[in-house]
A = this chain, B = another copy of it.
């Protein structure tokens, strides 16, 4: 029987890329933040970082884009490491909600914390915890952590940051609403600045793949070989990525792709094959639920070709 490691090569990724990138025509580049809408719908890159062998990539691999919601993986991991699971999940739940990513209805309806840390409300609550502890140092601490994961620093996209900040009324509403209910503490604008900066961090699909590989390897950096996050943190990230990583498309993603993942409105998706590899994919055209059309298609093909669910089908 052919070994899967043999199957993962540049030719396979090229083939997948050729099939997947066509589907981006069904989507639309995000427009709710003006600066995001300038990205070309044609762009596509796909990167696989095995836990124990070199990265394999295809497409516009050098293309930077902003992390958007994928940064929630980094801030959540950082927060759990610093404050412990129990403390973090006192402020945010662990369940998918079927509501859209920027919903707050359920917080009012149930008078309780945001459903999960990957919806905007939950991610802002996580930022508020971090900001409470580290104040102005918060960003530096998180980006240092990110650097230890991917081995480089790519800065943030100031135009996107400013665009986010100017278009931030919904997130501002979420933050003030939570504050009014005692679910968030501190200076809302400072917390949102941290949140928007994280969303604006620049990355490539290769960077996403390295983040995924760190999780896939149980918390060890593929760059330095250093153990960066505890097992419990790894389990938490995987569990949440499986159940609510693609907003209210998480169930369908679990059916079609079958891997823990996390998407962002810039068009990136980060996925994890536990024990084997991290995957990053990028294509800016989104479907109605805010996820990359070609990105999901590429992951679906990859999952099938490499039997990433381990079913031998």
Question: Which residues from chain A sit less than 8 Å from chain B, CB to CB?
Answer: 93-99, 103-106, 108-109, 115-116, 169-170, 172-177, 179-180, 188, 216-218, 231, 234-236, 238-240, 242-244, 248-256, 258, 274-276, 309-313
Report the separation of the CA atoms of residues A251 and B250 in the bound assembly, to the nearest whole angstrom.
11
* A interface, over-half SS: helix
By a CB distance below 8 angstroms, the chain B residues around A312 are 218, 275
Contacts of A239 in B (CB 8 A): 251-256, 258
Contacts of A97 in B (CB 8 A): 96-98
This chain's copy number in the assembly: 4
Which residue from B104, B238, B243 sits with its C-beta under 8 Å from A96? B243
- How distant is A242 from chain B, measured CB to nearest CB, in Å? 5
Name the B residues within 8 Å of A254 (CB-CB).
238-240, 242-243
Question: Hey, which chain B residues are within 8 Å of A96, CB to CB?
Answer: 95-98, 243-244, 250-251
**6 A/B residue pairs, CB under 8 Å, sorted by A:** A95-B98, A95-B250, A96-B97, A169-B179, A176-B176, A275-B312
Find chain B residues with CB under 8 A from A108 CB: 103-105
Residue of B nearest to A108 (CB): B105
Highest count of chain B CB atoms <10 Å: which of A93, A217, A274: A274
Chain B contacts of A176 at CB under 8 A? Answer: 169-170, 172-173, 176
Give the Cβ gap from A13 to chain B, nearest Cβ, in Å.
Answer: 22
When C-beta atoms are compared, the residue in chain B nearest to A273 turns out to be B310
Contacts of A115 in B (CB 8 A): 98
A212–B174 Cα distance when bound, in Å, is: 38
Judge whether A258 and B238 touch: CB under 8 Å.
yes
In the complex, the answer to whether A109 meets B104 with C-beta atoms within 8 Å is no
A30, chain B: closest CB distance, angstroms: 15
Complex: A231 Cα to B179 Cα, angstroms: 42
A206 CB → nearest B CB, Å = 22
Chain B residues closer than 8 Å to A99, beta-carbon distance: 98
CA distance A173 to B115 in the complex (A): 18
